[in-house]
Amino acid sequence: MDKFILSLDEGTTSARAIIFDKESNILGVGQYEFPQYYPKPGWVEHNPEEIWDAQLRAIKTALENAKITPEQIAAIGITNQRETTIIWNKDGKPVYNAIVWQCRRTAEIIEDIKRNYGEIIKEKTGLVPDAYFSASKIKWLLDNVPGLKEKAQKGEVMFGTIDTFLIYELTGEHVTDYSNASRTMLFNIKKLEWDEELLEIFGIPDAILPEVKESSEIYGYTKKELFGVEIPVSGDAGDQQAALFGQACFDEGMVKATYGTGNFILVNTGNKIKYSQNLLTTIAWGLNGKISYALEGSVFITGAAVQWLRDGLKIINSAAETEELASKLASNEGVYFVPAFVGLGAPYWDQFARGLIIGITRGTTREHLARATLEAIAYLTKDVIDDMEKEVSIKELRVDGGATKNNFLMQFQADILGKMVIRPVVQETTALGAAYLAGLAVNYWESLEEIRDLWKVERVFEPKMDEKEREKLYKGWKEAVKRALGWARIIGI
């Protein structure tokens, strides 16, 4: 009987299930959306039971589309939106909605903690204190759900990020992996354990925390009533770390960029913990008794800027149009767009920055705006990679995500970096990374070398721009960014 790997890719708005064969081909896909809830401005929640229901339906659809049975699944891998926080009773019933990574309700809690403990937190976890991470979300739940603190102290409830919740629903085991643990702001990435001092700072009892395991090992087997058969659940990684693994970035200095609503750029720093003032230090994965670390830079708005051209300015009908429009011009003719709609992320970290279009003349057209938008995505990515290169040598950039279909953007990215940009055949790198981790644990794939050979190139974009032109364009970008920084503070909004 042929065997396959089932990958569960649980994102911010949908649950997906993808079935891969031994050559990394996709046999079947299931995808179901679930709603987000906004009880107050800046608050973002999910109903965990709706996530679980969507995930089960996605699995069923993927199996049907692949025309296979559960008996043919060799293992299950999980990848997930990171940081999103759930606390549930031992019967699997959540005590409150999931607090999503985007939720800002704990911003004030974090400001106090950052003032007093910012350096300690960065040193122990590699993270900059922010409401983004799980720690303050757990604290909020313990402080605001009646009776929860007492239950937590008695060990009557469980905390987990989305991966942990799904593993618990599938197997009854309460575990997470190193990559997800490293995003809670409670995990010591040097000692590889939950940190007692940080737990004390946030007032969180260790009784509610999951056991932390490698990213590739058997965590448990699916309950028989779910699929009629016990399937090993044996791969787990946060979405961006899974994409790094799915891009076969196994060696120090290998970097991937995922182009979505925003961009996430990760570089493998090997077994060394590298700290950067402007980037996050995180665990990439734990495998075969070894930990791989990464530096991560998040760019908040990239693909969303193209959506704004379509939905806000209404100068394009589809994102794909930007490629043709941008290609009509020989250069940007001095027009720059800084899409700081919600401030700027790495490496600027300026929540008061605002969007700016500069260099406009009477001759400026929608072609200029389309080109400036695509160029901005490439500049923002270069900003992060330049910061990474202060710590580690980088030769090429591996790319995935929807915007990588845009050949103008990919060529300009190669030009402005002065490095090769490589687009793989399989674009589902996040789900593929989770599948590889699951498969390695059950010997479906034997080694990293076997996986490295499976990773196939669809197209390589070689840099064609000369150094002088590159420097001139990037200097213009840096000047435009300077003018966008702090704008909301300057005008008092």
Token pair recorded at residue 91: 């019967």
Residue 386's nearest CA partner among 484, 278, 268 is 278
pLDDT, tens digit (0-9, with 9 covering 90-100), for 116-154: 999 999 999 999 888 889 999 999 999 999 999 999 999
The whole-number pLDDT of residue 44 equals: 86
14 is in an annotated binding site: yes
Q: Are the C-beta atoms of residues 126 and 281 closer than 8 Å to each other?
A: yes
pTM for this predicted structure:
0.91
Q: Are the C-beta atoms of residues 240 and 258 closer than 8 Å to each other?
A: yes
pLDDT, tens digit (0-9, with 9 covering 90-100), for 360-378: 999 999 999 999 999 999 9
Dihedral class, residue 79 (left if φ above 0, else alpha if ψ from -120 to 50, else beta): beta
361 is in an annotated binding site: no
247 is in an annotated binding site: no
Q: What is the mean pLDDT of residues 431-435?
A: 97
d(CA 106, CA 118): 15
- Cis peptide preceding 347, ω within 30 of 0: yes
79 is in an annotated binding site: no
Q: Are the C-beta atoms of residues 44 and 100 closer than 8 Å to each other?
A: yes
The distance from CA 272 to its chain's CA centroid, rounded to whole angstroms, is 21
d(CA 216, CA 437): 5
d(CA 118, CA 295): 18
Query: What φ, ψ does residue 219 adopt, rounded to 5°?
Result: -90, -25
Q: What is the mean pLDDT of the chain?
A: 94
Q: Are the C-beta atoms of residues 281 and 274 closer than 8 Å to each other?
A: yes
Q: Domain extents for the chain?
A: 4-213, 248-493
Q: What is the mean pLDDT of residues 271-276?
A: 92
Superfamily of domain covering 248-493:
ATPase, nucleotide binding domain (3.30.420.40)
pLDDT, tens digit (0-9, with 9 covering 90-100), for 278-315: 999 999 999 999 999 999 998 888 888 999 999 999 99
248-493: same fold as 4-213? yes
The whole-number pLDDT of residue 408 equals: 98
12 is in an annotated binding site: yes
pLDDT, tens digit (0-9, with 9 covering 90-100), for 451-493: 999 999 999 999 999 999 999 999 999 999 999 999 988 887 6
240 is in an annotated binding site: yes
307 is in an annotated binding site: yes
270 is in an annotated binding site: no
CATH 3.30.420.40 fits 4-213, yes or no: yes
351 is in an annotated binding site: no
82 is in an annotated binding site: yes
In order of 5, 18, 225, 441, the CA distances from 70 in angstroms are 10, 13, 12, 18
Token pair recorded at residue 388: 């990474």
